[in-house]
Structure formats: structure tokens, C-alpha cells
Structure 1
Amino acid sequence: MIAVSSLIILLCLASFVGWLFADYFFLWKTEIKSHFGFNEMDFYWSIVCLVPMLLGHFITVWGNYFRASSLFQHSISMVTTPSDKKQRVGFWERHDSFLGYTVKFWFLFSGVMILNIYWFVVTTIYSRPDMVEESGEFVGNLRAVGYGSSQAVMLDCSIILFMVLRRSMLHSLGLTYQDILPMHRWLGVIMLFWATAHGAFYSAWLFEEGHFYTDIAFTDKTRGRLNMPGVFAWFAICIMGFFAIPGFRRKIYPIFLYVHRAGALVFFIGLIMHYPSMMLWYYMLPGFILFLVDRFVPKIIQARSLSPFARCTLNADADIICVKFTSAEPMKPYYPGDYITVQIPGQGLIRHPFTIASYWPEDPYSITLYMRVFRENKSSWTRDLAERFGPHEKRIVVRANVDGVFGDRRHNYLKSETIVIFVAGAALTTFMALIKAIAAQIATTSHSRRMQLHIICTFRTRSELHAYGSFMHQVTHDPRFTSWLHVEIYVSRPEKVKTLKGSHAHDIHDDIHALGHGHNLRRGISGRTIVETSDMTTVRIDGDYNEKWRDDSHSLRHSPSSASTIQTANESTYGRNDEGAKGAASSLTSSSTASFSSSDTIIYTKETRPVARYDHSLPTFEASSADLVSRKLAFMDLLTTAVLVAVPLGAWYFMRTVHLEGPTQWCVADKSKDIYTTFVCQWAYALAPGLVHTFVMLMLGYAGIAIARKIHVRHHARMNGIHDIEAAMAAAVSMQYDGKHSVEDSNWDESDIVYSHGRMDVRKVVRSLVEAGFGNKLNEGQGLVTVLAGGPEGFVDNIERQVKMANWSVDFHRETWAP
């Protein structure tokens, strides 16, 4: 099925590329005297260009829900591929040693450059004879080169928006969003080059003719009213290019984004007014349609699925915010490395991307994010969010708009016998779900594993390590992980405790303490606090509980949660067999969807420390019926996409049939009017259809988001027997507090997690791995090693530099936070 859909998408893309190669001879070399209104070229364009692109996109949308599952299942199965099968990095996946791009990217880049050169050469050659005959050899050549450059700009306008689609047809060819996005940036550079060349050669022509000061001005007597919008368009693309320089883009990303959006609007309108021809839309409209659909449909689907409220918990010591979104129904399956974008009303209009830290098969009804608070940046979005907590609040609920889920990552590196992951701080969330998925694959297959995974983490303070304590405790203590996962942890800075006593649930100085003679307190698996007394009576507190338990003047504070359950078990509880103990543990949290809280067993003896046993099987995507959930949401997505495509496109075709100048149709039949009136007529025919289409699309999109959110609230109200919408919204807020907590919400005894003080010496770590023999067998077809580095760009650059200096035979992948 996937192979058939990929073949159809490939044919659709081939039709579009064929249109770009052949269209000059059909459209531009054919004299169309009636191109102001609907004509035969609209039929030709619709059949050869528009319909294939829309068909390919619809298949892409459908495949987006199932291709990810198939590709991930194929990739995760490599973890247990027999070791006698040779594994190598695929030719298309290899990275160059200069810019770090894959072979796939350079293949795409080469195709785009061939198209650019083809359009420039063809239009220059075919226009040169007439221009030389009209203006002479020298001036005619200047005009021909300037004209060819302008056509190359128009070509790039037709494809640049395809390079920022999160659900692109290019994914079926193996290209990911990370592969495609650099092509968007390079296309911007290429467009700036062609636009500058066009302006320079045409300016030289006007200087030679003595018309420069009259034709580059606002006047009714020359082409100035056409040329000046072109000047504004050139300035717009120059400003966009300046702010897109990596140093500016990363330091002032919000300003860059606003400038980019405003500049794009000025550029496209200026381009149309500079060359007011309806034929421009034959190239730009497909990109506009798919871009707007790509931006609106995921927002509508998430507004229908997710609660508009998110629960936020602040760990003030670590400056980490945990954000959890919930859904009344199973949400679209998300896979390791997938992300969503989040926008909070009142904190700007920009949507910020965050990698999903939770694992879908554990809890299909929620999404968990971790956000590091950048307090060193006064304009930081996360800093503004942290300030909402105030001095005493430990948990807040905020209204949030979510876009996504997005992700098209290939996990072919899982074929490696050794994977080394370097992470800094919050970048750990990028790999949490992946590590759990690997553990599930190893635990549920009869084949032996073929891989070893090394994860080397560095945190600023032990408080930051503590923020991910439940996950770190699991991967360093659970034998289902420790048999193949090797963890090194570094804490680089001394502790700087800022937390007010009792202000949040993560005060690491008070969460673990001895209770006196005969008592011992430690954190157990799944966030349960276990108190062992001398008479072997155990008190279990699931989640958090607003209660004080006292014994001999010792107290234990817990934060509020109405979902808490307290159970006291005597020694006989632990004398039963595994099934009995498992059942007793299950009864504590029967309503919880937290991953390890329903069937984990905590065993205590009077003489030994607590030992965590995980008796349940790790969940997988297949066992969680991911395909059934995907099928339901795919139909909803396709229906929404069809409406957002058909209605605005119908408005477009309608505007193509309207005679904007009245029944005389003199724009078509008579060109004897003054030049200013002609310009106005041309602008009307060139601008009106596209602007009407965009306006209708925007209205439908925003209306769709509002309607989807209301449907979600009403559905939630019916499920809970609530008839008043306001009451339903209030209930949604309370659910955020009373709802189920994931294991990541828990506190842990950091003394159980071994770490090293001081900064990570990357050179030393890499040298130790090389000396251990990892990567030395690559030339023999064995011992393939993959290195992944996640975190700030400077950290990732250092990892890459040390890997190259060590002359290490590895496949290197970057996971940076840089926008």
C-alpha cells in the first residue's frame, strides 16, 4: 500500500516538474490575447499542474498517518536484527564532511539548480534576438540577461513554499523536514541573487537608454508605477535575507519571524504589481494552497482533539517547566522525535516547537513537554511563562493553542550495533520516547538484541538532573534497560537553590529525609512514597496527597491532588506470589494511565534496601492499536483538507470569470487607453483572484479552529453529563489537577543516581569510546556506530568537532535547538 502511494506521489511530482520544464513553450511562447479572463490555459494548467499536486497532497495526508507507523516499525525491528546480517549507512543517508547535509539533500539541491539554470538559459536565449533587434547588441544582451533572471525568480517563487511544508510529498521520497528546510533557505539566497541580477541588468539598460530617473519613479508617463513595486519587492527580500543570517535569526528569532512574514507579503504583492500578469498565479497558486492548508489543518485537528487547557508545573530549582496536554479520546499516534508547536494567548503570536517527551503507547490520552526556562534572556517566552507561577504557586493551568503533531524522522540509525547519544539538559526529552520504544522492542521479541546504547548526559545543576529523576532512575535501575543501556551523567555547576519553602513539589532538600529510628523513607517506582516501619507496615501514597503523616514528631509534606490513594499493607501483602502482589499494586491506581503505575511491584524487606520490580510488559505501538486511531483521524483530516481546498479554489475560478472592468472588456480588446488606466486594469486582474482565494482560505481556517474547539468542549460536556459550556470549561480545568500523572511528575532520591561533578570532557569521553573498540570494525562491515548529539548548537558543534578530531568511523547526527 505504501509502495503504491509513493509511486502515485512520485508521478504527481513528475507531472509538476514536467510542467516547469515544458510550460515556457506552451504558455510564454504562445500568444494568449485573452489571458485576463478564464481561457484555455486555465484548463491546461489545472489538468497538468494543479490536479496532480492536490492529488499528491491528499495521498500524503493519508499516508502521514500510516507511513510513520510502518517506517518506525521497520526501523525499531533493526534493534533485534541478527548480528550476522551486515548493516551499513545507506548511500542516501550519508552526511557530507563540509556542511553536514545528506546525499538526499544534495540530490534535491541539484534538481532545483538544474531547473533554475534551465529557466534562465531558455528565456535568455529565446528573448535575445528580439531585444537585440530592438535595442542593439549591447543593450539587447543586457535586457535578455535581465529578463532571464526575472523568470528564474518566478520559478523559485513556485517552489519555495513547498520547502516549508510539514506534510510534504517529498517525504515519500525519503526526504525529511530537516532535509527540506535548508533547501528553503538556499532558495531564498538564490532568489536574492536572481532578483539582484535582474535589477542590475535592467538598471544598466535604463542608464544606457537615459530612462533610469524617469522609469524608477512614481509617474503616470512611464513604467515607473510598475518598476517601483519591484524595487520594494527587492528591498523586502534583502531585509528578509539580512535577518535570516544564522547569527541574527537565532538571537532575535521572534523579530526574524515577524520580519519574514511581513517581508514575504510585501515581496509577493510587489512582484505581482511589478509584473501584473495572471500567468504568475499559474506558478504561485499551488504553493499558496498547500502552504495554507498545511498551516490550518493540523491546528483544526488538534483543536478538536486536545483540551484547550494545559497543566504546567514549575521546578524552580532546575528552571524546568513540565507541560501536559490531555484529550478525552486517543490522540494521533506520535513517534519518538515528533514535536508540536505551542502558543499561549497573551504571550505573543509565535508558536514555539517542543519535542514530545512522553511515549504514546504508555498514555494515548496525553502529551508531556519539558521546557527549560531561559532566564538569562529578558525576552524569553519560557521566562514569561515561568513568571505566571508567582512566588507560591506550584502548578497552574493555562490556555494554549497547539499545532501538530509533526514528525517525519527516519530511524535508520537503529541498525547500528552501537549508538552513542550526547545530550545537554532538556535535550534529553528528544530521546526519552526512543529509549522506551527500544526497551519495548527488546522485551517483546524472541530475537536477541544486536545493539548497545550509550547515553552521556550533562546537566547544569543536580536540580536539573532531579527534574528528570523518574526517567533517569528507570534507565539506571530497571534491568530491562540496564542490560543494553549504559548511562554517564555529569553535573557541571554548583547548586543555586532559588525555591521558597513549600512553593512547589520539587524541593530536593526536603523530599528525602530519614524519619528516625525504625523508619526509612525512599522514593519507589512510579512516584509512590514508601515508608517502612519497624513492624513492616507500609504506607503507600500514589501521586501527591494534601495530608501530613506524623510519627514521633516527624512529618512528611505532600502537595494536593484529589486523585491520591492511600493504602496500608501489612507484611503478608508481600508474602504473596507475584500475581497477588501485582494485583495489590494494580488496585492502588486502577484509574491511572501513567505508564508504570498500574502494575509495578515494590518489594521491601527489613534487612535490604527497596528493590523495584517491573512485572508488566512494556507497551508498543502495535499493541496500543495505533493504526485504528490513525484511521479515524485520517478521515477527519482528509475531509477538513478537502473543504479548505475546494471552497477557496472555487472562489478563485469564479474570480477568473468576472469582468472587473465592466461589460466592455476593453482590457482585452482595446489597449489605446492611457498607461496608468492600463496598469490599474492589469493590477485588478492579477491581484483580485489570488487575494480573494487567500481571504476565503483564512476565513475558513480560523473559523474551522473555533468550531473544532467548541465541538471538543461540547463533546467533553456530554461525556461528563454537563449541559452548561462554562461548567464544562471549569471541569476541564479541574481535570488538569485531578487527572492522571505520568511517572515524570515524581520526585526521586538523587543518591540512587550516580553522577560526576564537573563539566563533561568530550575529548576524553570520545577517546575512551574509541579505545574501547567502538567504530573500529566499520571497514569490515561490522561494528557500525552512530553518534547523536542534542542540545544547544555550541554543545553540538563541540561534539562534532571532537568526533572529527578523533578520526572516528561513525555516522553523526545533529539535534540542535537552533531555529
Structure 2
Amino acid sequence: MMLMKMIQGVTLVVFIGYLFLWVITPTHVFWYKWLVKVRAHTFSTYFGYQGPNMLLYTSPVLFMAIVGSLYLHLRKKANQNYDEGVKEAANNKLSIWKRPMIIKGLGIVSKVELAFFLMFIALVVWSFATYIHVGFATITPMSAVENGETVWQSKLDSVALRLGLIGNLCLAFLFFPITRGSSILPLFGLTSEASVKYHIWLGHMVMVLFFSHGVCYIIYWIVTKQTSEMLKWSKTGVSNVAGELSLIAGLVMWATTIPRIRRKMFEVFFYTHYLYVIFVVFFVFHLGIAYASIMLPGFYLFMVDRFLRSLQSRANVRVVSARVLPCEALELNFSKSVDLSYTPTSNIFLNVPSISKIQWHPFTIGSSSNLEPEKLSVIIKGEGSWSKKLYQILSSPTSIDRLDVCVEGPYGPISTNFLRHDMLVMVSGGSGITPFISIFRELVFLKETLKRNVPKILLISAFKDSSDLTMLELLLPASGAPINFSKLELQIEAYVTKEKQPVANDKKQVRTIWLKSNASDAPITPILGQNGWLWLGAIISSSFVVFLLSMGLLTQFYIYPIDKNTYRVYSSGSRATLNMLLICVSIMVTCCAGFWWNKKRNTMDSKQVENMGGVIPVSSTNSWFRNMDRELESVPQQLLLQSTNVHFGERPDLKRMLFEQKESSVGVLVCGPKKLRHEVANICSSGLASNLHFESISFSW
């Protein structure tokens, strides 16, 4: 515990120093005094002008990522002791900062997220104002005449340059939120799935600034009769053509983010986003690798994460069975390694090549890695073309006997604090019930297996029609995974909003389909083994060391004899190409080494997992309506039915139901439509009930 606090303290100091660096970057003192001294002490024949930039902007971030990996490893070990986890949650001084707030235009955000957002906006405003002040201070009528320009033309040139500099500031932070296996975000109580909205906002800011940067320069070149500059690819300076190609790639990506295009033509949005490779490559060609090193750290960590994901996604995983529900929902059950552990509310990305070889979609994990150590369940509701196609494949009378699936993940919070409450109220709308299934199963494990005290559970679920009530069946694991929750205090209030009375339909059945597997199919395993966070820190550090060594040797023995560090002889494009190639090779080599080493160990462990293919499909009936004669298959189903009240033709009175809870600490979780989430958050933040604690669950991929 002491070591974890020391790591947090060191990380906080480095983070504050990194922010301070960005604060002073626009100032005259930084460029003409401080940076000059830094370059004088760090300039070498191995790294040249690139060295100081990597020292100032890249090394602090990579240091936080490496130290963060160690912290998360220790945190994971501590979370295996539930007493320590509860104690840490109770004593966590940051818990107040994690409480969500509702901000118009931002939605539901925690105080930590709001603080980061406000700090970044302040940094952008400060940087732009300071850049403009410093730039305009050197523009006089005499200096403009010497350059053959008017004062306003010189100021336009200065503004265009400063817009690009601010755009680079936003670009430096753009890739942090979408690094799924990030070791930095959890240090500040953030998760990648909850931070995607910041990637969206940063993306808009980047493109607005870069588009304005390009337009201002085009206007400047036209009014100063320098239109030939638009076709200039300088050998040793700024390459305008490269910048234009980067901007075009960015604009194409930006255009497809329009909500109407993204929702109705998701594949267009998805495919065009791969243009980020073109965008970044030509951005480096545009400015040179020395200046591009300022935005390198975020993209470097993203590349490490992206390559590890590509290694994991190459193999097919073993699909054991599928439960097909009449409400166009299904549960896929995968075989997994016992070593793979994840927290409730985690999600995983799936690819089904028979539907699309390129599309990847995130889905909530419904299983508990403790209750079901050799199985991982994913719940999918048929709401889009991809998920509906999968449902049709598995629900057809002549459904297939096997399914090829690739996965990336799981991803989720490093820990959960549900045990610190006396009661959990889980509010869901439609398929929003899926994250609560994993919480329910985890609490069953703690209560029935570990004999721990767990919170009471009140599940409030709203469905459109009675067929959706079969989603409650998924609270119980599939056949072959017995579950007992007789000692768990559970109450389910289910609301069917579109029907005013029960509709008896004997066809409403849940079918369990057992699927075959090939010998090459493997259980889902942790990509870097049980000590994945330590391996990630080792990969980040070793890959960057390999890059520095190879770049230093290349510069010393090949580039320096030609260029002498003047940056006026050797092509900046060739220098950038070599650096990008070395970065990619360094990441690929170290990632492959870590992945294959752990894959050997995973393969040995997976041999102990029983192959459960080839069983004849079975079906089970369900009854969620009071006073209806249905045969119940098992005691757990009877308990579940006895704990359920179904209400037809009405919506839950959430305010009344929440205020009725008198326990000293009530954790309130909500997942569903935006209107529902805001309604619950407003009730909890109203201050009318001090015992209500809103627990944020975000799925914003």
C-alpha cells in the first residue's frame, strides 16, 4: 500500500511538471532562454535537435506509463484481497473527485474529468493568446516592409502559424483516450471507454485548428502572390504538400464523423478512420521528426496497444455455446483460461469473419471470472445490421454448428467499489441490463462461495414488450454452470412499457445451442499473461530503448557524417522515414517477444481446459408472468421468478423508488438511454437524499 502511494506521488509530480512544460511552451522565455540552455546541455551527434524534444515532451509521458504499469500490477494484486479493496475504496481521497456531475453540453462527467477538461481548455486559450502576443510583438511596419508585406499580411502569417502550433497541442493528447490498454488513464480514475468522448472533442478541435491553419496560409499565399508555395515539398524544411495531404486525410475522417453518417453508414465511418495512418505519416513529413516528437508519446503508446491487439486478434477463439432469446438477443459463451480475470462491467471486442472481416464491435461481458473461471459470456442485442445478422445466423432453424470469432480484450475498470455500499440499485433500460448481469454474478460468488457480506440488490428494468423479459434469464449462467443465490437479497422490478397486460405466448423460449470447435480454436487468454501490466511496462520501456539505441547509432554513423547536425543537407523526409521505420520495428519486435513468450505459457495452461463441443441443442421455457402455469426447470429459476415483479403499461417512478431506500449507503448504477441516465443522475445529485451515491458506468465506444 505504501509503495502504491509513493508511485502515485511520483506520478503526480511528473504530471504537474509535464503540464507546466506545456504552460511555458508558448512563452518567449521558453524558446529563447530555457530551450537554448537545454539544447546546449543535451545536443549530441546521436540525437541532434530531436533529442531535447524527446527529453522534454516524450520521456515524462513514457515514464508515467511505465510507472503506471507497476502501480496497476500492485493494484490488481491488492484487489484480489477484498478486505483491502473495500478499505482502499473507503479511504480513497479521490473518491469525492470521482462523483459524477451533470454539465449541460457535456452530459454526465466526474469531477476528475471536469477538472481535466477545464484545465485543457484553459491551456489552449492561454497558449493561443500567448503565441499571438509573442508573434505580434515582433511585427512592425518596418519589419513588414522588409518582407515585402503589409502589417495585416504579416499578422495573418503569424496567426496561421500559431493555429498550427495549437493544433499540434491538441494532437499531442488526441490518442490517449483511445488507448484501450492504457496504463496512464487509470492512474487518474479514468477508463478508455469513458474517455472516448474526449477523443471526439479533441478530434473536432484538431481539425478546426488545422483547417483554419491551412485556409489562412492559402489566403496568405494568394494575397502575397506566392501560390507556388502550395506545391512546395522542401528537402530540409517544412513540406507544404505533405501538410496538405495530411489535412485532406484528416478532413475525410472528420466528414464521416457527422452523426447522421456515423449512425446510418457506420462502415464508411469505420473504414475511413484508418486514414489516421496517412494523416500522421504526412504530418511527420510536413514538420519533420524533430518537431513531431512533441506529439509522439500519445501516439507511441497507442501504437504499442494497437499492435498488441492485432496480435491477439489473429487467432480464432473457442465458442462453446449460444443462448438465443426471442427478443433478438443472444449470449455467446466462450472458453477462457483460468488465468484470465476481469472486473464486472468489462467489455470485449468481437469480430465474426463470416459477417465482416474488418468490423469490430464492443459488447458487455455478462459472466464473472470468479464464478465461472473457465467461461466468458458476451451478451449481444440485435440493434444494428451486424448484430442482427449474427442473430439471424444463430436463430435460424438450420443454424450453423460452429462459429469463427476473433476477440480483442477484455477491457474494463481496474477495480470496482460495489462492496462499500449497503445496497445496490441498478436501473436499466432495454439492453442496458447487460452490465448488471456481471455484477449480479460477481456478488453471487462473493456471497455463496467466499461467504462475504454483500449489498442488497434492487434491479429496476424497463423493457418495451414482454419478449424482452427473457433478458432476465441471462442473470443465470448457461447450462453446465450451476448457481445458487438463495442467501442473496435480490428484488427485481420489471416494467413492460408497451403492453398493458401479460401476453401468453408458448413460442417465447430461450434456446441453448452447443457449438463445435476446431483444433486450432483456443480459449481466450490474457494477452500478456497474469502479470500483463508488468509486461506492458517492460514492452514500453524496452521498445523505446531499442528505438533510441538504433536511432542514435544510425544518426552517428550515417546521418551525421553527411549533415553535421545542420539539418540543411540530409533530407528531412528521409530522416522522418527512417525514424518512423525504427519506431515501428522496435515496437513490433518487443511486442512479439512479450506476446509469444506468454502465448507459450497460455498454450500449456489451455490444454487443461475441457473441449465442450458437439452437444445436441436444447431449449428451456421461461415464465416471467405471475399466475401463469409454466414448468420451472431448476431451483435458481424458481428463486429468480419469486424475486421478480412485472408491471405492465407503466414506467418506473424512479424518484420515489430511490428515495424509499433507507440504507446508510446506496450505490445507484444506471445503464440505458441518455434520458434515463440523466434522470437518475439528477435524482442522485439533487442533494435530497444523502445516502444515494451515483456510480458511473459508461459505454461510449
1:94 aligns with 2:103: no
- Distance between the aligned counterparts of 2:604 and 2:451, measured in 1? 46
Q: Equivalent residue of 1:101, what SS? A: strand
Identity of aligned residues (%): 16
1:282 aligns with 2:328: no
Residue in 2 that maps onto 1:401: 406
- Paired AA for residue 295 in structure 1: R
- Paired AA for residue 185 in structure 1: I
Q: Equivalent residue of 2:348, what SS? A: strand
RMSD: 4.8
Residue in 2 that maps onto 1:574: none
Once the two structures are superposed, what CA deviation does each residue of 1:470-498 show, in whole Å capped at 9, x if it has no partner?
6369999944223xx32112345677989
Change (3 A) 1:310 1:637: farther
Residue pairs, 1:485-564, within 5 angstroms: 485-492=490-497, 507=509
Residue in 2 that maps onto 1:619: none
Residue in 2 that maps onto 1:548: none
1:365 aligns with 2:365: no
Shift of 1:11: 3.2
Residue in 2 that maps onto 1:291: 302
Change (3 A) 1:320 1:291: same
Q: Equivalent residue of 2:369, what SS? A: coil
How many residue pairs get aligned? The number is: 648
Residue in 2 that maps onto 1:339: 347
- Paired AA for residue 90 in structure 1: I
**Residues 426 and 668 in structure 2, CA contact (< 8 A), matched pair in contact too:** yes
Change (3 A) 1:323 1:361: same
Once the two structures are superposed, what CA deviation does each residue of 1:64-118 show, in whole Å capped at 9, x if it has no partner?
344256468479748999xxx9x99724423134222221112111222233234
**Residues 420 and 788 in structure 1, CA contact (< 8 A), matched pair in contact too:** yes
- Distance between the aligned counterparts of 1:334 and 1:221, measured in 2? 51
- Distance between the aligned counterparts of 1:401 and 1:465, measured in 2? 30
Q: Equivalent residue of 2:612, what SS? A: helix
**Residues 793 and 818 in structure 1, CA contact (< 8 A), matched pair in contact too:** no
Shift of 1:342: 1.9
Structure 2 residue aligned with 1:138, among 148, 152, 155?
Answer: 152
**Residues 66 and 630 in structure 1, CA contact (< 8 A), matched pair in contact too:** no
Structure 1 residue aligned with 2:174, among 160, 183, 187?
Answer: 160
Residue in 2 that maps onto 1:454: 458
Residue in 1 that maps onto 2:657: 769
Q: More deviation in 681-690 or 363-372? A: 681-690
Residue in 1 that maps onto 2:627: none
**Residues 65 and 537 in structure 2, CA contact (< 8 A), matched pair in contact too:** no
Structure 1 residue aligned with 2:164, among 139, 144, 150?
Answer: 150
Shift of 1:812: 4.7
Residue pairs, 1:114-129, within 5 angstroms: 114-129=122-137
In structure 2, list runs of 5 or more residues that go unmatched. Answer: 517-527, 625-629, 631-637
Once the two structures are superposed, what CA deviation does each residue of 1:331-350 show, in whole Å capped at 9, x if it has no partner?
23211111222223342323
Structure 1 residue aligned with 2:338, among 323, 330, 334?
Answer: 330
Once the two structures are superposed, what CA deviation does each residue of 1:658-698 show, in whole Å capped at 9, x if it has no partner?
646x9653993767xxxxxx9xx232223431244235535
Change (3 A) 1:658 1:398: farther
Q: Equivalent residue of 2:244, what SS? A: helix
Q: Which structure has the larger Rg?
A: 1
- Distance between the aligned counterparts of 2:189 and 2:89, measured in 1? 23
**Residues 88 and 784 in structure 1, CA contact (< 8 A), matched pair in contact too:** no
**Residues 100 and 696 in structure 2, CA contact (< 8 A), matched pair in contact too:** no
- Distance between the aligned counterparts of 2:466 and 2:477, measured in 1? 14
Residue pairs, 1:299-314, within 5 angstroms: 300=311, 308-314=317-323
Residue in 1 that maps onto 2:525: none
1:351 aligns with 2:239: no
- Paired AA for residue 668 in structure 1: T
Change (3 A) 1:330 1:652: farther
- Distance between the aligned counterparts of 2:233 and 2:375, measured in 1? 62
- Paired AA for residue 187 in structure 1: L
Q: Equivalent residue of 1:341, what SS? A: strand
Residue in 1 that maps onto 2:249: 236
1:258 aligns with 2:262: no
- Distance between the aligned counterparts of 2:649 and 2:18, measured in 1? 53
- Distance between the aligned counterparts of 2:601 and 2:87, measured in 1? 42
- Paired AA for residue 469 in structure 1: E
Residue in 2 that maps onto 1:697: 587
Shift of 1:54: 2.6
Residue pairs, 1:492-641, within 5 angstroms: 492=497, 507=509, 632-641=531-540
**Residues 427 and 461 in structure 2, CA contact (< 8 A), matched pair in contact too:** yes
- Paired AA for residue 654 in structure 2: V
Change (3 A) 1:74 1:114: farther
**Residues 15 and 49 in structure 1, CA contact (< 8 A), matched pair in contact too:** no
Residue in 2 that maps onto 1:668: 566
Residue in 1 that maps onto 2:523: none
Residue in 2 that maps onto 1:273: 285
Shift of 1:228: 3.7
Residue in 2 that maps onto 1:579: none
Shift of 1:187: 1.6
- Distance between the aligned counterparts of 1:227 and 1:467, measured in 2? 56
**Residues 311 and 736 in structure 1, CA contact (< 8 A), matched pair in contact too:** yes
Shift of 1:403: 1.8
- Distance between the aligned counterparts of 1:79 and 1:172, measured in 2? 14
Residue in 1 that maps onto 2:521: none
Q: Equivalent residue of 1:403, what SS? A: strand
Q: Equivalent residue of 1:100, what SS? A: strand
- Paired AA for residue 172 in structure 2: S
TM-score where L is the length of structure 1: 0.66
**Residues 68 and 183 in structure 2, CA contact (< 8 A), matched pair in contact too:** yes
- Distance between the aligned counterparts of 1:715 and 1:413, measured in 2? 31
Change (3 A) 1:253 1:669: closer
Shift of 1:367: 1.2
- Distance between the aligned counterparts of 1:478 and 1:338, measured in 2? 22
**Residues 99 and 695 in structure 2, CA contact (< 8 A), matched pair in contact too:** no
- Distance between the aligned counterparts of 1:652 and 1:453, measured in 2? 57
Shift of 1:656: 4.1
Residue in 2 that maps onto 1:480: 487
Residue in 1 that maps onto 2:520: none
Structure 2 residue aligned with 1:106, among 108, 114, 135?
Answer: 114
Residue in 1 that maps onto 2:519: none
Change (3 A) 1:248 1:68: farther
- Distance between the aligned counterparts of 2:515 and 2:237, measured in 1? 70
Residue in 2 that maps onto 1:67: 75
- Distance between the aligned counterparts of 1:164 and 1:462, measured in 2? 38
- Distance between the aligned counterparts of 2:89 and 2:171, measured in 1? 46
**Residues 789 and 815 in structure 1, CA contact (< 8 A), matched pair in contact too:** yes
Residue pairs, 1:384-399, within 5 angstroms: 384-389=389-394, 391-393=396-398, 396-399=401-404
Shift of 1:358: 0.9
1:735 aligns with 2:612: yes
Change (3 A) 1:423 1:92: closer
- Distance between the aligned counterparts of 2:578 and 2:214, measured in 1? 26
Structure 2 residue aligned with 1:196, among 211, 229, 236?
Answer: 211
- Distance between the aligned counterparts of 1:80 and 1:126, measured in 2? 47
Shift of 1:291: 0.8
- Distance between the aligned counterparts of 1:282 and 1:496, measured in 2? 65
Change (3 A) 1:469 1:309: same
Shift of 1:137: 3.0
- Distance between the aligned counterparts of 1:745 and 1:643, measured in 2? 52
Residue in 2 that maps onto 1:609: none
Structure 2 residue aligned with 1:226, among 239, 256, 259?
Answer: 239
Shift of 1:53: 2.7
- Distance between the aligned counterparts of 2:674 and 2:71, measured in 1? 33
- Paired AA for residue 281 in structure 1: A
Q: More deviation in 438-447 or 248-257? A: 438-447
**Residues 312 and 407 in structure 2, CA contact (< 8 A), matched pair in contact too:** no
**Residues 72 and 414 in structure 2, CA contact (< 8 A), matched pair in contact too:** no
- Distance between the aligned counterparts of 2:448 and 2:321, measured in 1? 33
**Residues 245 and 279 in structure 2, CA contact (< 8 A), matched pair in contact too:** yes
Residue pairs, 1:49-68, within 5 angstroms: 49-68=57-76
